[in-house]
Amino acid sequence: MTKHAETRVDKLSGGQRKRASVAMELLTGPSLLILDEPTSGLDPALDRQVMSLMRQLADAGRVVVVVTHSLTYLSYCDQVLLLAPGGKTAYCGPPRSIGQEMGTTDWADIFANAAADPDGVHQAYLSRHPAANKPATAASPPGDLGKPPKTSLLRQVSTVARRQGRLILADRGYFIFLALLPFVLAGLVLSVPGSAGFNVALPDNPNEPGLLLALTNLGASFLGLALTIRDLIGERVIFRREQAVGLSATAYLLAKIITYCGAAIVQSAIMTAVIVIVRGGPTQGAVLLGSANFELWVAVAATACAATVLGLVLSSLATSAEQVMPMLVIATMTQIVFSGGLIPVTGRAGLEQLSFLFPSRWGFAATAATCNLRKLVPVGPQDELWNHDAGTWLFDMGILGLLSLVMAGFVRWRIRLKG
């Protein structure tokens, strides 16, 4: 299978998929391997290949148990267990002795007899093997299975992150959607009427800068949510399986955050660049980073990254893929309401305090501080979080980062190895 290392699973043949599945099981070096119908649906040549592989694994010292209805290559087995209806033993022994004990080597007759009289064939087996009828001795308590093998955290993060990146690139439809999304969102932001951009608002549209910032932050939130909200629920079964054999939940989560935040940063850069090119950048100067355009992008990218973590929170809470879309709608609406850009929350008891829990509130505040929104829209709310100074901007960004850390911690708790 080495030559197919770069091949998508859906491009593999049936036999190759079977071998890939076995290979996944062998990654942890199990001493016991149980396979259910590993040769079903395969042609005789592939059937022989898979059974030959099972034989090689057994010769290497592993216990291999194969459940099968394929009878062609039973000679590869050391022992054959034939069960009659009801789970009654009809035969147990080497393949070469089946004819002698069952009275025929015709499998059609053997199966017909077992189906017609399961009790009879079971009693016949017990009469031939009296020891099989003795009660089993009490089994010794199971020993400690030990902990899963450990791999360094950095190596696990690197492996999962590279795999996640390749998964995104391999899904062409999804990749094209992600590539086009920032352009689409930028176009929606640019639909705000007016020509002032991030300059002092004109009388015919006194809130133009505020609307531009609000929709830009909404776009950043949607970028992050769209990236991750379906991710954990879609991989939950695979993750639990990998976690059981040693994958660190911390490494898994870090790899997800690194990969998706990287994508969100690139997308937010594209969206912000399009908006700035068409409408112009902030005109009041940066408060900390020297370039107002760069500072605006940093705040937008931070909002998008916080939204990716929020998406992971929602994905960890979902119990089915059908719940994802309603969650996305509700999350988007709450980001709109509590950002403070479209619906004023400043000075509104209860609503203002509740808004502090939402990333969009702090992301919008950081961009408003960069653009000096209090000066650009003097008729709007005079929020202290929008002050055009370095201290306010750092405070807004710090709270946004703190919220992201808290949400990441919650996701880590949700995906922990239970029990």
Token reading at 135:
């009660």
pLDDT of residue 136: 53
Mean pLDDT computed over 249-257: 96
Of 135-149, 161-175, 254-268, which range is least confident?
A: 135-149
Range among 46-50, 52-56, 125-129, 304-308 rated most confident: 304-308
Confidence check: pLDDT of 149 > 70:
no
228 confidence band (pLDDT: 50, 70, 90): very high
> Tokens representing 38?
């590993």
Q: Which residue has the higher pLDDT, 343 or 8?
A: 343
Q: What is the reported pLDDT for 238?
A: 87
Q: Are 94 and 79 in contact (CB under 8 A)?
A: yes
The kind and range of the H/E element at 64 are strand 63-67
Of 39-53, 74-88, 331-345, the poorest mean pLDDT is in: 39-53
Q: Could you say which DSSP state residue 71 is in?
A: -
The pLDDT, as a whole number, for residue 263 is 97
pLDDT above 80 for 218 = yes
pTM, to two decimals = 0.77
Confidence of residue 100 (pLDDT cuts 50, 70, 90): confident
Q: How many contiguous H segments (helices) and E segments (strands) does the chain have? A: 16, 4
Bridge partner list, 33: 64
Distance CA 275, CA 300 (A): 12
296-313 residue pLDDT tens: 999 999 999 999 999 999
- How is residue 359 written in tokens? 């990333």
Alpha carbon distances (Å) from 379 to 2, 199, 203, 207: 67, 14, 11, 8
pLDDT at 37: 83
Structure tokens, 72: 């062609």
Domains of the chain by start residue, with CATH: 2-133 (3.40.50.300), 153-414 (no CATH)
Distance, in Å, from the CA atom of 86 to the CA atom of 258, rounded to the nearest integer, reads: 53
CB 300 within 8 A of CB 220: yes
- Per the CB < 8 A criterion, the answer to whether 202 and 208 are in contact is yes
**Residue 385 predicted with pLDDT over 70:** yes
How high is the mean pLDDT of the chain? 89
Question: Across residues 30-47, what is the average pLDDT?
Answer: 82
Alpha carbons 361 and 336: distance in angstroms, whole number: 9
3-state secondary structure of 218: helix
DSSP H helical ranges for 292-418? 292-317, 324-338, 351-355, 359-371, 373-376, 390-414
Per-residue model confidence (pLDDT) at position 139: 54
User: Which tens digits make up the pLDDT trace of 176-212?
Assistant: 999 999 999 999 999 999 888 898 888 888 889 999 9
Helix extents (H) in 27-117: 44-59, 98-102, 107-116
Per the document, the length of the chain is 419
Report the pLDDT value the prediction gives residue 141, as an integer from 0 to 100: 59
DSSP assigned state of 37: S
